[in-house]
Structure 1
Amino acid sequence: MDLKIISWNIRGLGRRKKARAIRNMVNERKPQFLFVQETKLSSFPQAVLRSMGCDRRFEFCWAPAEGSADGLISLWDPNAFVKTLDYTTKRIVVVIGKLKGSEMECGMMNVYGPTIEVEKDGFFKEILDEMRKHNVVWVIGGDFNAITSMEEKQGLSWNYTAMENFRSFIQKAKLMNLPLADGLYTWSNNREPPTFVRLDKFLVNAAFFEGYPNLKQSLLPKVISDHNAIALENVVYKKDMRPFRFYNYLLSEDGFDEMLVGKVKNFQAQSSTNGI
């Protein structure tokens, strides 16, 4: 099944060229879902949607900015995603529904994490609380303002406690931190010497792979913002070209050991029967 979700910290939608950049990306990439962070808009006039090229093609749910670095908006194509519920908090936009061609009920969560370290535990707890309210498969994307390992940052220093807290949250939420293709980092401070960090990412439930087994997360070229946009898409491979993938997360799934033992015994029995 086709799937493309794009997330982008735009760093302000009040400037017309930022809205045009989104319009160009939407026209070129044709996502079914779009997560935007840091709109910096306390209201969302129709003129902005028109400038983005999203006023007729997309439905949306947005959280107003309460400061100079806030504001989120999630947009989706109603022909590809049927919404049943949406709501917002200061740092989260939640949209629940079904993607066309799938019976899987999905929660699409657009997030913008705090930059202040002492606020991050509360942010992760808020995400967990929202996830537990709904029995759905989750796709969570946005600017987390956090990293999971030293490999996700180049320059300056690392906060090891903060990295451990982020990893702990991902584990508790039973989410998967997908690898990033076409690049290593999503943000740069554009200074000398530069600092590069992977602040933006998608996290998904393992169950999401049942409907979308060829998920790929990739870095898009940098335009306008100091953040790269990222894309999550279901890549359809030609016959005999589908790559093998195994995620360490699966080792901790309930029933994995029993399933593996059963598969091995079944293979051994078939091999014995066939004289292999």
Structure 2
Amino acid sequence: MDWSIISWNIRGLGRSEKASAVRRLFLQKKPKILFLQETKMQVFSISLFRRLGVKHDLDKIFSPSEGSAGGLMCVWDKDFFSVSDKVVARRFIALFGQIKGSQVPYGFLNIYGSSVESEKASFFTELKSFMENYQVTWVLGGDFNAYLSAEEKIGISVNRISIEVFKSFIQELQLADLPLLGGTFTWSNNREPPTFIRLDRFLVGDKVLSDFPMLNQILLPKSISDHNPIGLEVASTVGGPRPFKLYNYLMEEKGFSDLVVSALSKPKKSQRNAGLFRILKDLKGDIKKWSKDKQGGGENHIHWLECQIAAEERKQHQGQFSSSIGTLR
């Protein structure tokens, strides 16, 4: 069975561009589970979930931010993962249940670790104590705000005490840190000189590797956050043409009602003596084109930004710093 999980520190969902970027990632990768960190939102509306592409076959839960700091969200496919229990805390969300076709209980943890060095030891101690209360196979993902070696950080001094704290946490819980395919770092500060760190990762229990030996951890292209999204994938997803669906959020968009009235009022040769089915079929084509044109402008702009950011990052890795990467975000 092919599946994927994506984790992304989005650095705020309030801007429409951020919601569009998440939606685009959702439609492209079709993850079974999505972890978001630093949503910076205290209230999540139905309209926001629609803009993110969260459909009826997906479930969701969130941990509100404290003011404009923090905030977590999890979205999952109910047909893939049946949730029996949930725990929501300030710095993590835990989902407990079973993966379809497996009798093994799983625990998925969406994590946003403390960025304050003096708080990291207590954070990992508390997280370890929480995890030890459950007899499950663990999958952890998120922004740990920690790294495992000097090679995972470029730009400023390395905190070796924090490295040992994070290493001990992983070793004591017998978690596996899979190689990151496609790159080394998941975050950059967009300053001169630049700093690059691998802050985001997935950690899995041994049972996960025996159940899914083809599991890979992948660095996904950077978008309009200063963090790269990362993926945990089993094999590859086979693509194909998607059927057209009329989602409720489209009917709330400005111009939708005018489009329908105009399309139904416009005489067409194909509609002469046509039945209701043919008329609705033609209307579907008009709606599909309108939806594509409306979203295409925003999504094409997001794609352009992602290409520009990727090009600037390649220059930074070669020592050619440009301050324009910050303005692109």
Q: Which bracket does the TM-score occupy, shorter chain normalised?
A: 0.7 to 0.9
TM-score of the two chains, using structure 1 as the length reference: 0.83
Number of residue pairs matched? 236
The aligned counterpart of 1:58 is: 58
- 1:225-264 to structure 2, matched below 5 A, reads 225-235=225-235
Per the alignment, residue 18 of structure 2 pairs with: 18
Aligned to 2:153: 153
RMSD over equivalenced CA pairs, Å: 1.1
Structure 1 segments of 4+ aligned residues over 3 angstroms from their partners: none
Unaligned 5+ residue runs, structure 2? 237-329
Question: Counterpart of 2:182?
Answer: 182
Whether 1:165 and 2:165 are equivalent positions in the alignment is yes
Cα distance between partner residues in 1 of 2:212 and 2:131: 20
- CA drift of 1:55 comes to 4.1
Q: Structure 1 residue 186: deviation in Å?
A: 0.2
Shift of 1:47: 1.3
Deviation digits for residues 153-186 of structure 1 (CA, Å, limit 9, x no counterpart): 1111100111111101111111111110000000
Q: Secondary structure at 1:22's aligned position in 2?
A: helix
Name 2:28's counterpart in structure 1.
Answer: 28
5+ residue gaps, structure 1, are 237-276
Q: TM-score normalized by structure 2?
A: 0.70
Look up the SS of the partner of 1:162 in the other structure. Answer: helix
SS of residue paired to 2:69: coil
Distance in 2, matches of 1:55 and 1:214, equals: 28
Q: From the two aligned structures, give the one with the greater strand fraction.
A: 1
Q: In the TM superposition, what are the counterparts of 1:23-172 in structure 2 within 5 Å?
A: 23-172=23-172
Considering fraction of residues, name the structure with more helix: 2
Q: Distance in 2 between matches of 1:22 and 1:79?
A: 21
In 2, the alpha carbon distance for the partners of 1:19 and 1:138 equals 29
Deviation at 1:203, TM superposition (A): 0.5
Q: Would the aligned equivalents of 1:11 and 1:69 in 2 still touch at CA under 8 Å?
A: no
- 1:55 and 1:235 map into 2 onto residues whose CA distance is 24
* Equivalent residue letter for 1:235: A
Q: Give the Cα separation in 1 of the matches to 2:111 and 2:172.
A: 17
Alignment partners' CA distance in 1, 2:225 and 2:143: 13
Given that residues 106 and 138 in structure 1 are in contact (C-alpha distance below 8 angstroms), is that contact kept between their aligned partners in structure 2?
yes
Q: Distance in 2 between matches of 1:26 and 1:103?
A: 28
What is the DSSP-based 3-state SS (H/G/I as helix, E as strand, rest coil) of the residue aligned with 2:142?
A: strand
